[in-house]
Chains A and B, each alone.
Chain A
Amino acid sequence: SSTFNYGTYHSLASIYQELDNLASEYGNIVSKIQIGESYEKRPLYVLKFSTGRGNRPAIWLDAGIHSREWVTQASAMWIAKKIASDYGNDPSITSLLNNLDIFLLPVANPDGYEFTHTTNRMWRKTRSKNSGSLCIGVDPNRNWDAGFGGPGASSNPCSDSYHGPRANSEVEVKSVVDFIKNHGNIQAFLTLHSYSQLLMYPYGYKCTPPADNAELNTIGKAAANSIRSLYGTTYTVGSICSTIYQASGGSIDWSYDYGIKYSFAFELRDTGRYGFLLPAAQIIPTAEETWLGLKTIMEYVRDNPY
């Protein structure tokens, strides 16, 4: 067993080392897959949780697409350990993995994450060069092929919400898109952001409700209740457009339009006291409550295939 401290923030190297440790320690259900590499050639690693019987329906979960949202990468690591260590002990997790595979990408933007540790803690975007501009990076959550370039994204390469030159221009985004498409049976697409304590479903690029609005809202509220049950943390539930603002090119809009009905984005703690600089003492409580919300959605996905 490794000595990885899940209650603190880690470098990318330390996180990647722990992925190896988890795959080694829980080799019966955990394996590490490389789905691509970042603009600066860092590997994009996914943990696959599977009991290994064929190509099962699966759930996708990613974190850290915005690099400065450190509590998301940290929570994803705690959740990885939780899933691995509770399989065979917790009936709920055991049942989940006996029916579904889970793919977890804990650091979706590794270049940005490394940059937040070495150079600028407030960095949000990728680290790709923009032709014709001195400004670096694209907002990887405005770069998906869903209303690309529409309201809520910027065409200015110097903006923190720059959508990029074209949809999927960022290799970090394209790698996930290719993986999801090649898999062919992803039933849920879940993504972790911070902060604001929100649980959102499509759409962000338009303000018309999705066809499954009622069902997604019911699932979202059930998940928010689960989150609140642990420490009383309250979440607001709704579509991206109704909850925050119109934002085009987002990942869950792409996944939903691609046919993945259960598409949700979490905005984790807090509501602004610390914002992106959430104290490390809150990592584990955040991860614990987030896991309860995720588990509620995952159980629904298990029981309601489509």
Chain B
Amino acid sequence: LETFVGHQVLRIKTRNEEQLKKLRFLETLDHLELDFWLNPSTPALPVDVRIPAHSLQAVKIFLESHGIEYSILIEDLQVILDREKQDIVASQQMERS
């Protein structure tokens, strides 16, 4: 099973169409391996994006240098995934017992 250690999910809030354009540009950079959970659409809606550990610094610097506001929704995706897996296993054990 692929792991997501160190992957973060950021919530990005844009203020105008110009900032949205910057995010759409980010989408085109394949080497960053970004996974947009909520795509850039309008400034009224947030953009959620999963960022692999190796791209985190570059993306955060990009956002900050363009004055784009963001917050961290999920600090480490693998922690949530591990919890989900544990819940499933526990539930299966309960069913058996």
In the complex, whether A78 has a CB less than 8 A from a CB of chain B is: no
Find out whether the CB atom of A158 lies under 8 angstroms from the CB atom of B73: no
Find out whether the CB atom of B41 lies under 8 angstroms from the CB atom of A245: yes
Contacts of A119 in B (CB 8 A): 1-2
Find out whether the CB atom of B80 lies under 8 angstroms from the CB atom of A9: no
**A8-B87, A196-B38, A244-B41 known; A158 vs B30 contact (CB < 8 Å):** yes
Docked Cα-Cα span, A272 to B37, in Å, equals 9
Of A25-33, A142-150, A276-284, the one touching chain B: A276-284
Docked Cα-Cα span, A276 to B36, in Å, equals 12
In the complex, whether A121 has a CB less than 8 A from a CB of chain B is: yes
Find out whether the CB atom of B1 lies under 8 angstroms from the CB atom of A5: no
Q: Within residues 1 to 16 of chain A, which ones have a CB less than 8 A from any CB in chain B?
A: 3, 5, 7-9
User: Which of B35, B48, B74, B95 contacts A5 (CB under 8 A)?
Assistant: B95
Interface size class of B (residues with CB under 8 A): 20 to 34
**A3-B95, A244-B45, A280-B88 known; A275 vs B37 contact (CB < 8 Å):** yes
**A119-B1, A277-B81 known; A5 vs B91 contact (CB < 8 Å):** yes
Contacts of B81 in A (CB 8 A): 121, 277
Contact with B along A105-119 (1 / 0, CB 8 A): 000000000000011
In the complex, whether A41 has a CB less than 8 A from a CB of chain B is: no
User: Which of A5, A7, A9 contacts B84 (CB under 8 A)?
Assistant: A9
**A5-B94, A160-B35, A244-B45 known; A273 vs B88 contact (CB < 8 Å):** no
User: Which of B1, B42, B48 contacts A275 (CB under 8 A)?
Assistant: B48
In the complex, whether B11 has a CB less than 8 A from a CB of chain A is: yes
In the complex, whether A306 has a CB less than 8 A from a CB of chain B is: no
Q: Within residues 45 to 96 of chain B, which ones have a CB less than 8 A from any CB in chain A?
A: 45-46, 48, 50, 73-74, 77, 80-81, 83-84, 87-88, 91-92, 94-95
**A5-B94, A244-B45, A272-B46 known; A121 vs B74 contact (CB < 8 Å):** no
Find out whether the CB atom of A245 lies under 8 angstroms from the CB atom of B73: no
**A5-B94, A272-B11 known; A277 vs B80 contact (CB < 8 Å):** yes
Find out whether the CB atom of A272 lies under 8 angstroms from the CB atom of B4: no
A116 to chain B minimum Cβ distance, whole angstroms, is: 10
Find out whether the CB atom of B73 lies under 8 angstroms from the CB atom of A279: no
In the complex, whether A167 has a CB less than 8 A from a CB of chain B is: no
Find out whether the CB atom of A272 lies under 8 angstroms from the CB atom of B38: yes
Contacts of A280 in B (CB 8 A): 84, 87-88, 91
Pick the 8 closest A-B CB pairs, nearest first: A245-B41, A8-B91, A120-B2, A277-B80, A280-B87, A275-B37, A5-B91, A3-B95
List 21 contacting pairs A-B, 8 Å CB cutoff, sorted by A. A5-B91, A8-B87, A8-B91, A8-B92, A9-B88, A120-B2, A121-B2, A122-B4, A122-B35, A122-B50, A160-B36, A245-B41, A272-B11, A276-B37, A277-B74, A277-B81, A277-B84, A279-B83, A280-B84, A280-B87, A280-B88
Q: Which residues from chain A sit less than 8 Å from chain B, CB to CB?
A: 3, 5, 7-9, 118-122, 158, 160-161, 195-196, 244-245, 272-277, 279-280
